[in-house]
Structure 1
């Protein structure tokens, strides 16, 4: 039967593959400049700088009133916020479309294209502000900014994952720290810059700065050579197993990226990871967007206090990305994400209690802890996906998770607003019920995500050999649990020793 043309296009687009370089290029990239050997650790500050630039998109809300005032003379016009929605839309579309292409092409070209679009976004916005045409701002920061942001977001993350197979957790956490740091810096410096040189000149400055940084760093970024491989550990002690000496040979762990990109997309592992991270993002993005409102409405604080509070939360977010990123490298992405979700649902309960009893110190403390955990979930996603599906599939899988994360956050924000507006008809704006009722349903989403975490198959579980006549297999309390079609007891719960023995025998067979 002939395959549907649409399915063929999708399969071809997500066919996987990697960029192939000539021997001369590989040799040339071993040198940084002036016969100075290239050192992979230089990529950490470079990735941080790239993400520092694109962090300005997350800080767009600080621009809404100045842009509306400049174009319409009315800071409450409400036209500028539409720019952010357009940017998020094109960011998600670009992530989905461009990610497989980035994997198959030169990383330097990707940085040049991303930097060009992100710089063009600033220049186009400056033109729109100069001519007082909001449509030009939409085209600039909305369309071009979204495209550039997506490309510049993916490349540093994937580059670090490829260069640091021995520090995947650290690379995952640090690679995304620059985004939040950029948001903090952008929020604190933009308005004073507007007052000093004007709003139009400020965007011209931003464009020149972003293009200069991305173009300048493009010659530093490079992919590791083909022989650059990860060293994986079996996680078992050979002297604990009753193995004959004749079998004492080096065996290799089955690599997760033996799954093709298309197979990874259709796997149950990716489905569970996608759903759990989306549910986490739904809760986190919605809560984050309302924190300053909570401080001002419920606890009767000024906008200045709200701004300081939000900056501290952002700092905690950065801290969480690093700490949980490193943790995931030690204990694995699944275990780390279970810890994150456990703390998340606990802090949501505490947040409701603090709101109900109007306890500002407790609310601030819980919010800071919540920000640490939300940042942690963003810090482990790249390493977690690489751990599960291999580095060659990371670009596309990370793009899909990030796109779904962003889209679901916007949709959830609309639901929150609808519930808030409905309750506001019968309650004053400072009534805790306006926020606590919303946190209740957000808590339920986070709780479902926490439950699903336990059903996400481990990398070993996906390859673990099935027993004869096996019907079902999962992991229960850290041990392999089987349902087998046989007479007598159909259930089997393997001991740790038996599991290690079966796994080692499987590895021997796998390496023949």
Structure 2
């Protein structure tokens, strides 16, 4: 048992790899491929710039977003395998993939921090492609189990790694705009859900159902492999706008030990490598790779240095076991359950409750996807504006965002039954799109919130672990809503509108839990790092419990 515990402790430990001189030199350029013997194949046509990672992250997530278009495949697969369009078996592939996405992200988050985003995305893209190939072969042999195994398990595994890899990288490269970086890192997921839904049916017509999986798997995995070539973590001593990856104001010479470690690899001395604005004791100047974020970046973070320095020293285990992470988990869960249920039911609600056409149902779903994408992109940007303009403590700014999204959802949940009973379709669309904006905003903001709270070296593991809330909400919430709705409508013979309304009641409870959990998240560093559990309001402690062993 002790050996198992030691193994688990080692796994849940973040030990970022020290970069070799050869790696630092190769990563001065955008495209570099690691090879055996610490060698790198490098194209020197384009020099690296951190802004290129925005594009690479968006494209990777764009391909991952194809998961949310799976419903397009349900009817063709059921018809192809069971000769019955209403068999209802293909949809379980989506639930399996969602479950694997969250669990894989949780289990491999620490591994990602130890091996870097390039290795993570290479592994994820390989699994994604293999899963599509297995699914294509299984469809050719009319095996639903093979589709579950291929797309659900193997591709779902790859999706989990590729979802968190670019997020982890961007949080390290953009300490000056973590919300914006998080938004772009996951915003592509929402955009992909819109576009791929328009691609699946034409691909089926062009290549057949099995062939469409092979074709699309190759296309999407090729894009993700290409993005993996661009991914990397910052070099030793990286800082932007006067702050390092931890948000701590950079002090010259502070990271020299990291550079010395890199210089001593294989006993080689390097005269000029890419490490921004750091000067060694021997006078060697390291070429800067990043742009200066400006005076406002330094000022926005200068007021909160004590908190950032304490966060920098937190271990991964202490973060996972902290009360704040516990509350953040349920905060996110409460923020996404309603959105996940609506995403899966929006078209049937439009046609069944409001009497709209199938084309209108498809249109409202597409527009809803656009709001999901916009929420992921722009809501986290708003949190950065709060930090820059009002110099708020960054974790508190993210907390304000979640307070807004959760309260907005509460208002929607209270008013939606009346709107549905009155069959006010225009107001229904407005509220659902606003809901989806909040839903996407939660996903876009949570990576920056986690990084602010627990540090840049723990984001991969914590983001991966908190995504299990997504899996539980998607699988448990989706199945629970479906079973309850079917019982109310088909067994109890309750009118369609009332079946939806009565099924919303339990969602109200989960959202209330999210609001309560939000207030439990402590963003004040004095509270977080005080002995015992301390909670203050307006700087005055109102609750103190026990000894704080986590920090």
Q: Is TM > 0.5 for Structure 1 vs Structure 2? A: yes
Aligned pairs (5 A) from 1:244-259: 253-259=308-314
Of the three residues 276, 296, 302, the one matched with 2:331 is: 276
* Distance apart, 1:283 and its partner CA: 2.5
Q: Does 1:480 align with 2:526?
A: no
The answer to whether 1:75 aligns with 2:85 is yes
Instruction: Return the match for 1:201 from 196, 211, 218.
Output: 211
| Pair 218,346 (structure 1): closer, same or farther in 2 beyond 3 Å | same
Aligned to 1:144: 154
Check the 8 A contact 2:335/2:405 in 1, yes or no: no
Partner residue of 2:433?
368
- What runs of 5+ residues in structure 1 fail to find an aligned partner? 239-249, 486-512
Provide the residue aligned with 1:414 in structure 2: 479
* Shift, 1:363, TM fit: 0.5
Secondary structure of 2:536's match? strand
- Aligned to 2:541, the other structure's residue is in SS state strand
State the SS of the aligned residue for 1:392. Answer: coil
**Count of residue pairs brought into register by the alignment:** 467
Shift of residue 274, structure 1, vs aligned partner: 0.7
Equivalences for residues 490-509 of structure 1 within 5 A: none
SS of residue matched to 2:340: helix
Q: Distance between the aligned counterparts of 2:70 and 2:516, measured in 1?
A: 34
Instruction: Indicate how the Cα distance of structure 1 residues 59 and 433 shifts in structure 2: closer, same or farther if over 3 A, else same.
Output: same
TM-superposed deviation, 1:395: 0.7
Unpaired runs of at least 5, structure 2? 31-42, 239-243, 249-297, 387-396, 546-551
Contact 1:96–1:400 (Cα < 8 Å) also in 2: yes
What's 1:328 paired with? Answer: 383
Q: Deviations over 1:47-72 (max 9, x none)?
A: 11111111112211110110121222
Q: Does the CA contact (< 8 Å) of 1:313 and 1:368 recur in 2?
A: yes
Q: 1:464 to 1:110 in 2, by over 3 A?
A: closer
1:235 Cα deviation from its structure 2 partner: 6.0
TM-score by length of 1: 0.86
Aligned counterparts of 1:461 and 1:384: Cα–Cα separation in 2: 17
Q: 2 CA distance for matches of 1:429 and 1:409?
A: 25
Pairwise CA RMSD: 2.4
Taking a change above 3 Å as real, the CA distance of residues 237 and 13 of structure 1, as seen in their structure-2 partners, is closer
1:127-172: CA deviation from partner (whole Å, max 9, x where unpaired): 1122222222222111211111011111111111111111100011
1:261 and 2:326 are equivalent in the alignment: no
Evaluate the alpha carbon distance shift between residue 430 and residue 329 of structure 1 in structure 2; reply closer, same or farther with a 3 A threshold.
Answer: same
Q: What is the distance in 2 between the residues matched to 1:161 and 1:446?
A: 28
Deviation, structure 1 residue 196: 2.7
- Counterpart-to-counterpart distance in 2, 1:64 and 1:106: 36
Aligned ranges 1:108-507 → 2 under 5 Å: 108-228=118-238, 229-230=244-245, 231-232=247-248, 253-331=308-386, 332-425=397-490, 430-463=495-528, 473-476=534-537, 478-482=538-542
Task: Determine if contact 2:347/2:362 at 8 Å carries over to the other structure.
Answer: yes
Moved more, 176-185 or 435-444: 435-444
Give the conservation status (yes or no) of the 8 Å contact 2:347–2:361: yes
In structure 2, do the counterparts of structure 1 residues 195 and 480 end up closer, same or farther at CA, with 3 Å as the change threshold?
same
Q: Distance in 2 between matches of 1:237 and 1:399?
A: 29
CA shift for structure 1 position 81: 1.7
State yes or no: 1:47 paired with 2:57: yes
1:13 aligned partner: 11
TM-score between both structures, scaled by the size of structure 2 = 0.80
Q: Tell me whether 41-50 or 292-301 shows the greater mean CA deviation.
A: 292-301
Q: Which moved more, 1:130-139 or 1:54-63?
A: 130-139
Q: Tell me how far apart the structure 2 counterparts of residues 74 and 293 of structure 1 sit (CA, whole Å).
A: 19
Q: Deviations over 1:379-412 (max 9, x none)?
A: 1010000010001111111111112221233112
8 A contact 2:409–2:435 mirrored in 1:
yes
